[in-house]
Amino acid sequence: MVTITRLFDFPYHQQETYNLQVALATKKNGVWEKTSSSEYIAKANAVSRALLRMGVQKDDKIALITSNNRTEWHIMDIGILQTAAQTVPIYPTITEEDYEYILNHSEAKYVFVSDIELLEKINNIKANVPSLKEIFSFNEIDSCKNWSELLKLGEDNSNQKEVEERKKSIDPDDLATIIYTSGTTGKPKGVMLSHKNIVSNVLNSADRIPFDPGVSRALSFLPICHIYERMVTYIYQFYGCSIYFGESIEKISDNIKEVKPAVMTGVPRLIEKVYDKIIAKGSDLAGIKKKLFFWAVEIGLKYEPYGANGFWYELKLKIARKLIFSKWKEGLGGNLDLIVNGSAALQPRLARIFAAAEIYIMEGYGLSETSPVISVNDYRNRGFKIGTAGKVIKNVEVKIAEDGEILCKGPSVMVGYYKDPEKTAEAIIDGYFHTGDIGEIDSDGFLKITDRKKEMFKTSGGKYIAPQLIENAMKQSRFIDQIMVIGEGEKMPAAFIQPNFEFVKEWAKMHKISLGDSTAEIASNPDVIKRIDEEIENINKKFGHWEQVKRFELTPDVWSIDGGQLTPTLKLKRKVIKEIYKDLYAKIYGQN
């Protein structure tokens, strides 16, 4: 019987308990290439044998960088960990300067990249990384060694005994991985997570996700270098859930229809986009169909769990589900019951309407430093409350400091920041990790996050502003795609807004308004500005006078990871955005 105490125990547990024909699946040349539980372990052992033959020692660091989630990454992950070396997963979208810093800081011996674009980035800085011995790629690239060379080198199993000895030598408290946080300023910090940190988080979170063990399918597409998606893939392995890797964010809707997953992870930005697309389709309907569609939407937006709205509401909801919401579910593959949401707060209206459609978005909360889950909703046993991050998971303790900061203690709290005892001592005090988030625990035990401590600011009048709350309310407008509230030390809050350019074009066509072709022309169009001003005036009524957005400027471009405005998990890079639009800031606050 496999006892899971280290990360590489998960595939062995899966093989012993479920022995899946499809443990991992990646689409190549239009075909899903499937790897069974047994093949997964066999290839991971071949990788371990090869690494030992290449001289990999205990505590060596090996970097993994991939543009999309794929089977090879997971085989390498287990193969590396079995040798007592550590993985250093890195975001594919960072700068060459950051690659150079992370590879030097971690003293990485080998780097595995997915494709030629990433290879070029690493080749450009390789000469500045003295520890780096070799680069391998997952895709076949003429000028680069291929990862399959490891499988070949490890074919001979005569040193498997040495692999087993290395595995035995690994203690649950030993370091497993270093996750470099995507800092918006300064150098990335290396979060050290042990086997115990992540394993405890998996086992303490696992009972919050309803699975059909050995049968469920999952779709994985959020960046695997982030501990959130990675930890969830270990949960999938624990439950014998077949993991299909999405080709790219652009192809997710196609992949959902092909794979028909029961579960996947999400972030608010993607869920907002799915909702906007559904609403846009409904707007294209006519007559009775359109009326029925928006009647169902109205019902969905009033949803409360556990029949709290009473008999008549439940009856109307039943009709709405049959006529309208069943089609939403069909459009998402037909089997999708659960989206686990992380990274940032979800708009409550989205939790309501998707639950009405029987696609439950279970919001959770955590950080890289907590491996990551601290709390998560669960529809069963009255464990779901809209607008909260759920109840704290087993064996984790949370308390709220006097200033409202969330403090967390438990086996999933990181070992510390790599090579940075000072920052570690600042973050972990008396065993409690200081999250930097402001929150509260309600009378039913649900954790509610109100804002980032670092993101809250005071106006010159001394009033506190919690920007996320205002931004989430404003994004309910179909005219607003992205928004960042500003005004620290200024006399009033204001905002940068990226319009929903697609919707604005449709709106303009309906009202016979000429916009011009470019996003810059749309952002400067007086009719567009006037219409968005009306939206803001209306939403402002929900807030106190001091919190209301008094002025705004529309930005001429689409905010993106490549553009620098968003992190890889699609959160706002606030300092970067403020710098990009410093002229608009000056215009708002009269500093020209």
Beta bridge partners of 62: 87, 110
105 within 8 A of 88, measured Cβ to Cβ:
no
* Burial of 535 per CB tally in 10 Å (0-12, 13-18, 19+): middle
Burial code (b: 16+ CB inside 10 Å, e: under 16) for 268-303 equals bbbbbbbbeebeeebbeeeeeeeebbeebbebbeeb
In which element (H, E) is residue 293 found?
helix 287-300
- What pLDDT sits at residue 184? 47
**Residue whose C-alpha is closest to residue 151's, from 40, 262, 302, 295:** 40
Q: Which two tokens stand for residue 380?
A: 């069963």
- What distance in Å separates the CA atoms of residue 250 and residue 560, rounded to the nearest whole number? 13
- What distance in Å separates the CA atoms of residue 55 and residue 49, rounded to the nearest whole number? 10
Q: Which amino acid is at 81?
A: L
Q: Which two tokens stand for residue 67?
A: 């543009």
List all residues 6 or more positions away from 539 whose beta carbon is below 8 Å from its beta carbon: 473, 474, 476, 477
List all residues 6 or more positions away from 261 whose beta carbon is below 8 Å from its beta carbon: 217, 218, 219, 244, 333, 335, 336
355 within 8 A of 349, measured Cβ to Cβ:
no
493 within 8 A of 487, measured Cβ to Cβ:
yes
The pTM for the full model equals 0.86
C-alpha 458, offset from chain centre:
29
- What distance in Å separates the CA atoms of residue 423 and residue 416, rounded to the nearest whole number? 8
Q: Which amino acid is at 517?
A: D
Query: What structural domains does the chain harbor?
Result: 9-170+209-263 (3.40.50.12780), 457-588 (3.30.300.30)
Mapping DSSP to helix (H, G, I), strand (E, B) and coil, where does residue 571 land?
coil
The H helix count followed by the E strand count for the chain is: 22, 27
- Please spell the DSSP secondary structure of 319-368, one letter per residue: HHIIIIIHHHHHHTTTT--EEEE-SSPPPHHHHHHHHHTT-EEEEEEE-G
- What pLDDT sits at residue 182? 65
Per-residue pLDDT of the chain (592 residues; tens, 9 = 90+): 899 999 999 999 999 999 999 999 999 999 999 999 999 999 999 999 999 999 999 999 999 999 999 999 999 999 999 999 999 999 998 889 999 999 999 999 999 999 999 999 999 999 999 999 999 999 999 989 999 999 999 999 999 999 999 999 999 999 999 999 865 456 889 999 999 999 999 999 999 988 889 999 999 999 999 999 999 999 999 999 999 999 988 888 899 999 999 999 988 878 988 898 899 999 999 999 999 999 999 999 999 999 999 999 999 999 999 999 999 999 999 999 999 988 777 889 999 999 999 999 999 999 999 999 999 999 999 999 999 999 999 999 999 999 899 999 999 999 999 999 999 999 999 999 999 898 999 999 999 988 777 787 888 877 878 888 899 889 989 999 999 999 988 889 999 999 999 999 999 999 999 988 899 999 999 999 999 999 999 999 988 888 899 999 999 999 998 888 988 777 888 889 999 999 999 999 986 4
- What distance in Å separates the CA atoms of residue 141 and residue 527, rounded to the nearest whole number? 51
Beta bridge partners of 439: 449
Q: Rounded to the nearest 5°, which phi and psi values hold at 318?
A: -60, -45
Mapping DSSP to helix (H, G, I), strand (E, B) and coil, where does residue 472 land?
helix
